[in-house]
Structure 1
Amino acid sequence: MDPRLREAAETGNIDAFHDLIEDDPDILERVDQIAFVQTPLHVAANRGHISFAMEMMNLKPSFAKKLNPRGFSPMHLAVITGQNRLVLRLLKANKDLVCVKGWGGLTPFHYVVTTGNCRLLVDFLEASPECIEDVTVRDETAFHLALKENQIEAFNILIGWLQRTRRTHGSVFSFEKKMANWEDDDGNTLLHIAAKKKQRDALKLLLDSQLWLHVKAKDSEGLTALQILNDASRRGVNRNRNASEEVDTKIKQLTDKVIFERIRVVGDRTRHSMSVDMINTMLVIMALVITAIYTSSLSPPGGVWQENGSDDNTSKSNTISHVNHLSNKKFVNTSDIWIFGDKSERAGTTIMNQKIYGVFWFLNLATFGFTDLVTVFLLSSFHLFLILAIPLYMLIISYFCSMTILAPTIPWAYVNLFFMVLFGFFPFLLFFSLLVFSKSIRQTIDEIRYRNRMREALGMKFLGPGTLVFCSQYILDGIFGLWMPSA
């Protein structure tokens, strides 16, 4: 760099800088052509000259992302030297400067975490939420760095932000699970680092705030966080054996026969092969069919029996309606036996012949059920499927409620009532099924016990806020993983 340009940057003399440009218009271009160079913006950032730095940003924006020979950008230097006002001005000018990677993959956001500057940490997270996902060349997240540098307050802020963020990676809980269980190059999760550094407050915070922790995860030496916490003997641990077991498990998964997973794969392939216009068209058709079928449950063909009054004309009218209505005539005149019991002629029940009602009920149910399944299949490709499916589920219960009331005989009413109760308990059956298929009950109980052993080792209460809702983890994880697949 030209000595005169360096002197102007060190003193923050904007007029002298302008004079240099008048004498040599290409002075900045020559600096920009060097890959790793100490630019005037670096010098100004290191000295905290805000006006000079912003003028340089205005004239040569590319300098803001250049690295000097030590691997620092101007934002790096401003953070390291504690030039907070300049950091905020640079952040306001370009929020992407937070994510510029220097030597080792360290960003200015990482340096804010390691220095424990909580005020800037909050500002960075608000301005550039995606910076939380940046990792170093050692595959360390900001959470790892905060624990390794004993910045517990910064770690608390990061965990609090993780609990409140709206960011997702496909399914609802995938982003939070990914960040809470991220492993660095040594296989260390947040639990491992906190256990190795005896950071009991950080361990308590993780156990109470993160339901998605893999408490039995092992580091590269084959130790869990609980074993590290209890200062377990590392003898006899074979790292290669653990890696071999993991590979063998993956091989076994790929060589096992595919049954239920194959059904889901075929369904996903079918959805992905359908265009958006085709899905929209089919959803419109399914909505029309569902509307027509549900309407028939409210107003069955032929109408319903009306309440008999003392008026002779009304009685005569009801009698004529009963005799002449086509749906109430018997196809077989040689028998007066009704297929599901005697006719009731109760007010509000269908006047349809019970034999015809049986056919009507079966066709209605088959059409309604098939249409609902197709609708569920089409909607399952959207991330908000669970919310969209709730009204559809309530409509099914309402359908059987209407069919129960309109049933011509008591046995038919019991049949519809059975289906109404069955679908009323269906969510609980689904929850239990997901619990069984996604993770075995034995494995769930085992992880709960292991988690509580960690709480006991830390002197925490057995029934902490995290433990009270921990049992719902696998249920929610299974539901959102199944019905809200990743993009």
Structure 2
Amino acid sequence: MEKELHQAAIKGSVPALLELLKQDPQILTQTSSESDTPLHIASILGHSAFANELLNRSPELAARLNLQGSTPLHLAAAKGCVEIVKSLVLVNPDLGLVWDRDGLTPLHLAVIKGRVRVVAEWARVRPEATRVLTQGGDTGFHLCVKHHRLEVLKVLVECNGKDDDFVNWRDSDGNTVLHVAVARKQLEVISYLLDNTKIEVNAQNSNGFTALDVLSHSTRDLRGSDIKESLQIAGAPTIINKAPSVMFDRDTVQVSTTMQPMMSKRRSLRQLVFKPKKKEVDWLGRKRNSLMIVASLIATVAFQAAINPPGGAWPSDYLKDANGNPVDKPHRAGQSVMADTEHRHYGQFMIFNTLAFLSSLSIILLLVSGLPIKRRRWMWVQMVIMWIAMTALTGTYFMGLIFITPEQHRRGYLYHVTGVSVFIWMSMMAIVFLGNVLRAIIYLLRKYGCMKQKPTDDSLYEDYDDL
């Protein structure tokens, strides 16, 4: 009968529930502990009539927890079932203060899921429930920002916006909701908080950083400029004296500092004059991605050219003439026409095409092999292979163009323009190749002491110190 009761809860069938209660009036009290009760099922599926009947028959079901530590109110709030939320709160108003195993109350789940109607009803009936913190120390304001719920934030501000202490509440890391919003660059949220609450724009977190300090060390973009302007209009200082290193993850905002004093004027010059270098691994990563894309494209083109050469293939066999005698130039269906009619050009075509195909496959193999080839010298080797592949593909194109052009047009204007264009392209490839070879030679000469090293930033600092 317990299985039938769960099936009735899934369907939301009140007649089926009444029939089961006639057969066993105690069936609602016999469900196993820590499992989903019929009220849990009805709450998550939105069967309000079924849930009301259960509450009328057995109100204690409202306080039962499932394996996740959730009450039926947690599930109804997360799903946005306003009618069931009203019924559950009416039966037991204290359910809105219960934490589940994740440290969240039903209202917190409604905020995270963006259930505006549920939060609005809660704020109207039990406004004190909107002030309960998560076990991690977050307010509903923090959850709204972390989960991008501006409309829910507006409801909470209307309920608690006049309480300066609560609006400026700090989480476990000492961050106010403004710190979190600035870290995530939520311009709309920041503008709303500054215009509609008494948020402290210069409040400091546990590391002593204001919202503007956090913004100053995030990625610069147009949105960041607008946020900075809004903060300064609201009273943030125009000069920033701190240098925090800000790190954010998806669910928390942690602000830490790696401030180090400037030990000498040499250190000051380094920080004021020279911009920090970008990480080499990022440059190499972008180069590897570009090489993979280009190599895959060249391999695809070369493969198609090999199985479908210029002129196509013979449609049928031609081995004997009409009298049954062997012909001078026999061929079979599917064989290349170019191989029979332009034997020399076909050989050149296949040499270039095979070279392009194997070179591109070599690059792909190196990139996916897992070998430690992340240094610049290995990237230079791959660039040379790419140069070979592109040069060979250009030769393939030119040989195919010669074959498909009729003999009488091979001296025409367009033909010569094409030939000159290909020659210019090949010259450019040669210049690039020679430039890279020259760079490699200079690198080796400097490495083994045969050439003077390039001046570094440190040598400039030494000259400054001498002054």
Larger radius of gyration: 2
Is this a same-fold pair by TM over 0.5?
no
Looking at both structures, which has the greater relative contact order when contacts are Cα pairs under 8 Å and sequence separation is at least 6?
1
TM-score (norm 2): 0.45
